[in-house]
Structure 1
Amino acid sequence: MVGLLLPAALGIFIGLALFFPYFRKLFFLKQEASNIPNGSMGWPFIGETIGFLMPHKSNSIGSFLDNHCSRYGRVFKSHLFGYPTIVSCDHELNTFILQNEGKLFQSSYPKPVLDILGKLSMMIVTGDLHKKLRNVAVGFISEFRLRPDLFCHLDKMSISVMKSFQQQRQVGFCKEAKKYTMSVMLKYVLDIEPEDPLAPQILEDFLTFMKGFVSIPLYFPGSPYAKAVKARARLTSTLGDIIKGKEESGAEIKKGDFLYEILRKGNINDEEKVSVAIDILLAGYETTAELLALVVYYIGKSPSVLDQLKEEHQALKRRKKDGEPLTLEDYKQMKFTSNVISESLRCGNLAKYFHRKALQDVEFKGL
């Protein structure tokens, strides 16, 4: 039943708001404006990036944010990824930022992050281009969830993965979850089966890509950042070849396929196709795998929750005929399972931060 968690996690993007300052020069004035939050700029260039990126448990905000919030408050200034930055751990301010997307704030990432994500990533582009690329992604995801074979395929794949665990004395579940979710995404985005030689190659490049995304942005041979930039280039080439090959093959393209959405829109070029494909794979693979790991982690600490999940799943199984595949309606009936997913998202932390740039001077609660 683990496979049933996937659709609920697609498109999930949560975390703490981290956005660029009103103007860089404000941080270097001898006498700062009174409404700039307190904080520390750290070392030149690197600033406090090393501390900010230190690994920590997913069910916490980490020692860096915890210490800075205790010292400066839940909104403070810092110097991250080579730029002066305002960091917000304040729920009300973060909500205000999201509600004013495109009016007072817009997505904006430091150049090192741009080099990894790519200039056409939906996390970066704005305006009409963002709307066009997002329409392709949303169209695919909407149709993807309604595919009649989806839940049956997820169920069979989940059972197969769980059976493989029986032969192992110890299982690194998060790693296995990433293999599982990548296999699912490759199957439904690019029609690549798990046994295809390209599958582990693409997974490895995504793992390298994500390690570099949360690393010090220093480009030198062998650094995680340099490896990530190269992995992004390989992914672009690999996915570009796959998409082009499938378009030229003349094979039947089914409704709900990624290529179906591309052709249906009609106004998307080759570079944009690859970028959207990478964004969809990333959204469906990384966050979903981490959500699965969080759910298992929390269930492991709550035997009563596990018992109630089993009861709900067994009740559903009893209502179905032998061999009858799972459906979207079955999933909708699993209220407690849905609550477990939502509570895991509330308690865990899938995305530590996201970047926003203030389009003008902004005052909030006197700051």
Structure 2
Amino acid sequence: MWSTFCLGVAGLVVMWISNWIRRWRNPKCDGVLPPGSMGFPLIGETLRLINPSYSLDLHPFIKKRLQRYGPIFRTSIVGRPAVISADPEFNNFLFQQEGRLVELYYLDTFSKIFALEGESRTNEFGAVHKYVRSIYLNHFGAERIKGKLLPQIEEVVNKTLREWSTQASVEIKHAASVLVLDYSAKQIISYDAEKSPVSLSEMYTKIGKGFLSFPLNIPGTAYNQCLKDQKKTIAMLRDMLKERRASPETNRGDLLDQISRDMNKEKFLSEDFIVHMIFGGFFATFESISTVLALALMLLAEHPAVLEEMIIEHETILKNREDPNSSLMWDEYKSMTFTLQVISETLRLASIAPGVVRKALKDIPVKGFTIPKGWAIMMVTSTLHLSPNTFNNPLKFNPWRWKDLDSHVISKNFMPFGGGVRQCAGAEYSRAFMATFFHVLLTKYKYSLIKVGNITRDPILGFGKGIHIKFSEKS
């Protein structure tokens, strides 16, 4: 009797598990789901997505499924059902539907690190997003760059390159991360890297190593350590905000000053909202600009004709100045036609993240399929950047291609800073920072590659063991 009972229980368990797996593989949908696979229960196809590839090409996870299923397919990432779209028309449509059909969304790993606990304000659309975009543009937008930041960036790049030139070699991705983060943090919270007891660059380097790992929050995992470092950084930012609130008469002129004053006017500006907003802003600058700079320096060293044309452009700027020792001016930055083409070409090839993620607020019909309410939608903008229909020989580094591309074609097929109303407010700042870096480098220094690690995508762009560069002053 006991053995019969055990067999009966085991049979029920097997039936329950079989039914659970069947429902996992065939999610409910009031319509026809896009083709694809949900992968294994709970983990979905996450391991395949984070498995590194070693090319600037699309990550194999995405490329193989596009070839098999077409431009729109379903999957599951970290246990969440998702649709991945490489359809330009549909993606452009979704960018315009923010707050109506879709909202900003983070997968588990991102949400616990970047979003507010117990709140969903990072997803709110309208006044909140308008305010956040406005305050960042106020401190990093074109007018601020033109009036104040450009000479400051030139000064800090001059100082940094002098230091780098005294070293045997520099791992450029990490070194550029420190440069960009320290300067950006100075504008946001008046951070002084030389006096601060906390190294923001070290903290964000450790966070960056864990935020794309599988979200297994147990001691010893990369994700667990990432969360610990995130909490330390949040605590530091919270203490700084409280200090500003306690001394409103102190005026540093940074973003934290403005936002702490605005807390009296905007109800949504809670302490939690502010510190998480600043935390995310740091991470955005830390990763993006440094990665593109590192890739650009590697590609330029491998393409001497491109490097030579850039050098000529920057030396011409110096020759045309009345005072050769004057600071870089806005008009000079805007005259860097070829340099900006090099930056665009590097951004196109880098496609640092594979895409942007939104969440369906209601069932969304698309080309005979239905994306169910609540599902994540990853819009893979990198497929646009590597499409042979727009960019001939798309994996080739060719800055000259931008001379012949129509502005309308570019607007629809080039989205390195996102699209729609959530286009990155720091787009001009990123370009200006990189252009200024190249201006100082190419007029005062020379460099050579010492050691280059493998390019990796997991799926974020990285450089394996790094790109090691020797900098030296021009004689």
What TM-score results when the alignment is normalised by the length of structure 1? 0.83
1:159-180: CA deviations, max 9, x gaps? Answer: 2322333333433211111011
C-alpha contact (below 8 Å) 2:189/2:254 kept by paired residues: no
Distance 2:317 2:251 in 1: 33
CA distance in 1 between partners of 2:160 and 2:87 (Å): 40
1:122–1:279 contact (8 Å) kept in structure 2: no
Q: Secondary structure at the match of 2:191?
A: coil
| Residue 217 of structure 1, aligned match among 215, 218, 241 | 215
Over 3 Å counting, the alpha-carbon distance change for 1:226 and 1:31 in structure 2 is closer
8 Å CA contact 2:25–2:37 kept in 1: the answer is no
Say whether 1:164 aligns with 2:173: no
Q: Equivalent of 1:348, from 350, 356, 361?
A: 350
Matched position secondary structure for 2:363? coil
In structure 2, the residue matched to 1:270 is 271
1:1-367 equivalence runs, <5 A: 29=26, 35-57=32-54, 59-119=56-116, 124-142=123-141, 145-146=144-145, 148-198=147-197, 200=199, 202-249=200-247, 252-253=250-251, 255=253, 257-264=255-262, 266-267=265-266, 268-320=269-321, 321-367=323-369
Q: What CA distance in whole angstroms lies between the structure 2 residues aligned with 1:124 and 1:353?
A: 18
Task: Determine helix, strand or coil for the equivalent of 2:180.
Answer: helix
Question: Which protein is bigger by CA-based radius of gyration?
Answer: 2
Deviation at 1:134, TM superposition (A): 3.4
Using a 3 Å threshold, how does the CA distance of structure 1 residues 280 and 121 change in structure 2: closer, same or farther?
farther
Supply the distance in 2 between the matched residues of 1:298 and 1:63 (Cα, whole angstroms): 22
Deviation at 1:199, TM superposition (A): 5.3
Tell whether the 8 Å contact from 2:102 to 2:361 is kept in structure 1 after alignment. Answer: yes
Gapped runs of 5+ residues in structure 2? 1-21, 370-475
State the alpha-carbon separation in 1 of the partners of residues 280 and 326 from structure 2.
Answer: 34
Does the residue aligned with 1:363 lie in a helix, a strand or coil? Answer: strand
Deviations 1:316-340 (A, max 9, x none): 1223314311222321121221121
- In 2, are the aligned partners of 1:112 and 1:217 still within 8 Å (CA)? yes
Higher relative contact order (CA 8 A, sep 6+): 1
Deviation at 1:297, TM superposition (A): 2.7
Unaligned runs of 5+ in 1: 1-24
Q: Give the count of matched residue pairs.
A: 342
Q: Which letter does structure 2 place at the counterpart of 1:225?
A: Y
* Preserved CA contact (<8 Å) 1:144 1:257: no
Percent identity reads 26
Moved more, 93-102 or 115-124: 115-124
Q: Is the 8 A contact 2:98 2:125 kept in 1?
A: no
The SS at the match of 2:307 is helix
- Deviation per CA, 1:145-172: give whole Å up to 9, x if none: 3464422222222223223333334332
* TM-score using structure 2 length: 0.65
Q: Distance in 1 between matches of 2:181 and 2:226?
A: 18
Partner Cα separation in structure 2 for residue 147 and residue 236 of structure 1: 31
Shift of 1:301: 2.6
Alpha-carbon deviation of 1:306? 0.8
Cα displacement string for residues 4-33 of structure 1 (whole angstroms, at most 9, x for unaligned residues): xxxxxxxxxxxxxxxxxxxxx986548977
Mapped partners of 1:85, 1:194: distance in 2: 41
> Does the CA contact (< 8 Å) of 1:205 and 1:231 recur in 2?
yes
Change (3 A) 1:339 1:31: closer
Instruction: Give the Cα separation in 1 of the matches to 2:318 and 2:160.
Output: 19
Deviation (angstroms), 1:49: 0.4
